Structure 1
């Protein structure tokens, strides 16, 4: 048996995704966002979270999935990547689970319309498949620079 990995599970379209707990700062309900001009279409704006300006991206838009209206279940998962906080809008945040590292396989080329470069792996959990995100690639370096400029502009 491999090492246990604690993962926060969230839904996007009909797939379940996970990110390592230590990369998640908090999970928030949807809140008003300030739009920011001249950014990527998946960057929905910035929020003021307890005095910190946090850029927010819609993961559906980032992955090229069809956008949909936000619901009462929609959440903003605040992650920390390279010491910068970023909010990820997801359809719902479900639970926290332990994943055995032996259950994680390399990602196939595409899962639920999401390209492999965004994926760290796929964990088989009984009859469930959990797609683990590669946050470094979800927010690649050029986009992180652009988002850091947004934070600095506020």
Structure 2
């Protein structure tokens, strides 16, 4: 029995791990691979831009870079927590600055994101029926399960359509 426990521990240590930045949208937990996140900052002042999708809140200056700011709750149609009032909607929030190959974007999150490392084996593929419903939106990489928590792991580079990426490039 002891030998078996040591083997299990050793196997877990050798298992590939995924490092995530975890945050909440509504009451659910979401994660993004840490290599997709450039930095986390307090949400700066946002300037609204005309002719952008409703979920793009505008642009902001983050360390000298002008980037588009996206509200993922709005993008995913997730209701914000009941205790959030509209006047203070973006006060005391954080922005994850993400860098894709041809654009930079910020995601608004309400709580300070947490870092979490989980074994790859703890991330299940997204159920097929969900992927079928969202045929054009395969941005869910999988569902992480750790210590009784379910974390929806996003592939942030697939959240925008190619048309939206073009709009983003033109507005920033």
TM-score range, shorter chain: 0.7 to 0.9
CA–CA distance in structure 1, aligned partners of residues 19 and 77 of structure 2 = 27
Q: Deviations over 1:6-38 (max 9, x none)?
A: 111111111111111111111111221111011
**What is the aligned counterpart of 1:13 among 26, 34, 49?**
26
Q: CA deviation at 1:150?
A: 0.7
The equivalent of 2:168 in structure 1 is 147
Could you tell me the TM-score, scaled by structure 1's length? 0.86
**Structure with the higher fraction of residues in helix conformation:** 2
CA–CA distance in structure 2, aligned partners of residues 98 and 75 of structure 1 = 21
CA–CA distance in structure 1, aligned partners of residues 59 and 45 of structure 2 = 9
Query: Based on CA coordinates, which of the two structures has the bigger radius of gyration?
Result: 2
The equivalent of 1:121 in structure 2 is 142
The equivalent of 1:92 in structure 2 is 111
Q: Deviations over 1:24-78 (max 9, x none)?
A: 1111112211110111000000011121111001001110123552352x21111
8 A contact 2:98–2:104 mirrored in 1: yes
Moved over 3 A (4+): none
8 A contact 2:31–2:154 mirrored in 1: yes
Could you tell me the TM-score, scaled by structure 2's length? 0.78
CA–CA distance in structure 2, aligned partners of residues 62 and 77 of structure 1 = 15
**Structure with the higher fraction of residues in strand conformation:** 1
Is 1:135 the equivalent of 2:156?
yes
Is 1:106 the equivalent of 2:125?
yes
The equivalent of 1:70 in structure 2 is 90
8 A contact 1:122–1:129 mirrored in 2: yes
CA–CA distance in structure 2, aligned partners of residues 27 and 42 of structure 1 = 20
Give secondary structure in 2 for the equivalent of 1:92: coil
Q: For the structure 1 residues 107 and 139, does the alpha-carbon distance in structure 2 shift closer, same or farther, using more than 3 Å as the test?
A: same
RMSD: 1.9
- Unaligned regions of 5+ residues in structure 1, if any? none
8 A contact 2:103–2:168 mirrored in 1: no
